[in-house]
Amino acid sequence: MTFEEIKCRLAGKTVGIAGCGGLGSNCAVALARVGTGKLIIADFDTVSESNLNRQYYFIDQIGMKKVAALAENIARINPEVKVIGHDLRLTPGNLPVIFDGCDVIVEAFDLADQKEMLIETILTAMPAIPLVIGLGMAGWGMNDVIHCRKDGNLYICGDEISEIGPELPPISPRVGMVANMQANVVVELLLNSEVAR
């Protein structure tokens, strides 16, 4: 498949991204670069200086709402991508509404209890939509334990063991690897769905 063909196929697709932090912002940018038609992004947070060591934002965006800053960055990379930004906290109540119509959903939260909430909600309320989660990406090195495995409609990207902590912070190289792995899985799913038809 040439890149033109890929772009053409992805132009008709919608991807939901829950969280615009280390995983979400990098995943969104990767998907925007290849021409994903529509991205539905959601995060209640604001860009802060400490985010810049891994999140796809710039110094002059500190203080901006993340969904606005990310939409701005995507527009500067690929203005053909339609970005719908939701500046709010995702809940079991609003998740199915906000991500209605998505071909794939990406989980990009930071807290384990939020990951649990999202996975339970999507597997229950939207079981037909593939869900790509990020799990375990703290620290540096340890390249060879980062993997992707499939469990039904759930795709797990990460090493599944490196939890963030004061002595094991999340930083750009490893977080970026998992975020891009998630984007890679999304592209594979979106292109395969074309083939399946």
Partner 1 sequence: MKILLNNNPEEFNSTQLTVNELLRNKNFTFKMLVIKINGILVKKADYETAMISDGDEVHVLHLISGG
Return the DSSP state at 11. T
Q: Which residues contact 168 (CB under 8 A, 6 or more apart)?
A: 138, 139, 162
Q: By CB under 8 A, is residue 22 in contact with partner 1?
A: yes
The reply on whether position 37 binds partner 1 by CB under 8 A is: no
Q: Which of residues 50-69 bind partner 1 (CB under 8 A)?
A: none
Q: Give me the least distance between CB of 112 and partner 1, in Å please.
A: 4
Q: Quick one: 150 exposed, middle or buried, by C-beta within 10 A (0-12, 13-18, 19+)?
A: exposed
- Separation between Cα atoms, residue 48 and residue 45, nearest integer Å: 9
**Segment interacting with partner 1 (CB under 8 A) among 6-14, 34-42, 85-93, 128-136:** 128-136
Nearer to partner 1, 17 or 81 (CB): 17
CA–CA dist 194, 149 (Å, integer) = 21
Piece of the chain touching partner 1 by CB under 8 A; list 58-66, 80-88, 93-101, 149-157: 149-157
- Return the residue of 5, 80, 100, 120 that touches partner 1, per CB under 8 A: 120
CB 55 within 8 A of CB 101: no
What are the tokens at 136? 């375990």
Q: Write out the residues near partner 1 by the rule CB under 8 A.
A: 19, 21-24, 107-113, 115-116, 119-120, 123-124, 134-138, 151-152, 154, 156, 158, 160-164, 170, 175, 178
